[in-house]
Chain A
Amino acid sequence: DADVTQTPRNRITKTGKRIMLECSQTKGHDRMYWYRQDPGLGLQLIYYSFDVKDINKGEISDGYSVSRQAQAKFSLSLESAIPNQTALYFCATSDPGPQETQYFGPGTRLLVL
Chain B
Amino acid sequence: GENVEQHPSTLSVQEGDSAVIKCTYSDSASNYFPWYKQELGKRPQLIIDIRSNVGEKKDQRIAVTLNKTAKHFSLHITETQPEDSAVYFCAAARSNDYKLSFGAGTTVTVRA
Q: Which of A23-77 contact B (CB under 8 A)?
A: 31, 33, 40-45, 48, 58-59
Which of B13-21, B62-70, B102-110 contacts its partner?
A: B102-110
Which residue numbers of B lie inside 8 Å of A, CB to CB? 1, 4, 6, 9, 32, 34, 36, 42-46, 49, 89, 95, 98-105
CA distance A101 to B95 in the complex (A): 10
The 5 nearest A-B residue pairs measured at CB = A42-B102, A104-B43, A43-B102, A42-B104, A104-B44
Interface residues on A, range: 20 to 34
Per a CB cutoff under 8 Å, which of B43, B49, B100, B105 touches A107? B43
CA distance A59 to B2 in the complex (A): 10
Chain A residues closer than 8 Å to B49, beta-carbon distance: 101
CA distance A100 to B32 in the complex (A): 9
The distance from the CB of B53 to the nearest CB of chain A, in whole angstroms, is 10
* Nearest B-chain residue to A101, judged by Cβ: B46
Q: Is the CB of B1 within 8 A of A59?
A: yes
CA distance A42 to B4 in the complex (A): 10
